Amino acid sequence: MSDRVAIVGVAQTRFSPKRADANVAELAYEVIEKVLNDTGLSIEKDIDNTISCSHDIWDGQTISNIGITDVAGGHLRTEEKMAMDGSTAAYYGTVGILSGEYDCTLLLAHTKMSQTNRHIVNNDAFEPIYSRQLGLDFTSAGALQARRYMHAHNLSREDTARVVMKNLGNAMANPLASRFGYYGMDDVLSAQMEADPLTTMDVAPDVDGAVAMIIASESKAKKITDAPVWIQGLGSCYDDYFLGDRDLADCMALKKAAALAYKMAGIKDPVKDLDVIELSDEFSYQELLWLEGLGVCKPGEGARLTESGFTSREGELPVNPSGGVLSGVPANVMGLNRVAEAALQLMGKAGERQVQNAKRAVAQGHTGFCGQHQCVIVLGNQ
């Protein structure tokens, strides 16, 4: 068994509204080739397991990983699939190495959102008798959660707009981002309404892209790189399926997932013990709510932290210095992208979006409507 697991390589495509030049297999090949070249590893000699993250409905075919099995090195070799979010692929791959079953695992997440319509895809996530017939999707469910959360803590649209302004400003330093810019309050508030209170600026855009990562056991990682990023803690939890069975102003699953990850990593106070957070802000309000779930602040205080600059790239605890999901990261990919961006920070390879002296980070991914399933991963470079 391996005592520790490390991230030894990361590769990402540029996220684009439409990659008409590449199908999903070509997107996968783009990042797999890069991460193998960067690490000097080969699938035949070094990789003993591949885990991909994709989704049948997004890809338009049953067993969606069948389209990338060859480029991921799965021919007559071990290859597994996770669905819905890449953070769970990182979780699952880490467990496989810790168990002693594998030594070096290739992780992959890919989606071409331009191929279909997100509202149709996400509507299928709801139970078929009642909720699906109402036409609910992740955006309309997110609007319900946003309204409930804002009402519970007397928050305004200006409070959520500041998240958009911060993250899209951060994305100006990220060459992979699809949406970026220095926006003012009026720009965000006057944008077209998607589902009240969420405008197009409050909702992550549809994009195409892929992320690849290689994780390895401690002994192998030290042979590959002088700057491994250690996976120090893991946690995951599901909340109730029916929206009506949950308090949407709370995030129970994230609190439990974070508690598990923090205990494993030995984190007592996330504000003092962490240097950067990369979380999945599929909608603007989620950054505020997820900060509560991650134990960074008390209920309703996330907006104040954002307004004060506490979570800015130059602040006490930078949140989404990459620009986050609001800057454009595909469904299924966004969780692995969060892990990748956190790892790049700890490797000192984040370029212009680098947080100085970052030693410990948290990456958070979620799946399902209103953050139904949560995954938290603690990373460190020491």
d(CA 276, CA 132): 38
pLDDT score, position 76: 85
pLDDT score, position 2: 62
pLDDT score, position 3: 84
pLDDT score, position 61: 86
pLDDT score, position 207: 98
pLDDT score, position 167: 98
pLDDT score, position 1: 56
| Region of residue 235 (left: phi > 0; alpha: psi -120 to 50; beta: else) | beta
43 within 8 A of 106, measured Cβ to Cβ: yes
* Mean pLDDT, the chain cut into blocks of 10 residues (382 residues total): 89 97 96 98 96 92 89 90 94 97 97 95 92 94 98 98 98 98 97 97 98 97 96 97 93 98 98 98 98 97 97 98 98 98 98 97 97 98 94
Nearest to 364 by CA among 224, 243, 256, 204: 256
Concatenating the DSSP letter of every residue in 294-353 gives TTSS-TT-HHHHHHHTTTSTTSSS-B-TT-TGGGT--TBTHHHHHHHHHHHHHHT--GGG
Burial class, 223, CB count within 10 angstroms (exposed 0-12 / middle 13-18 / buried 19+): exposed
Q: Mind listing the domains of the chain with CATH numbers?
A: 5-116+209-224 (3.40.47.10)
pLDDT score, position 52: 96
Helix axes 334-347, 86-98, angle to 10 degrees: 60
DSSP bridge partners of 377 = 234, 363
pLDDT score, position 141: 97
- Return the number of other C-beta atoms located less than 10 Å from residue 182's C-beta: 9
Find the distance separating the first CA and the last CA of the chain, reported in whole Å.
Answer: 20
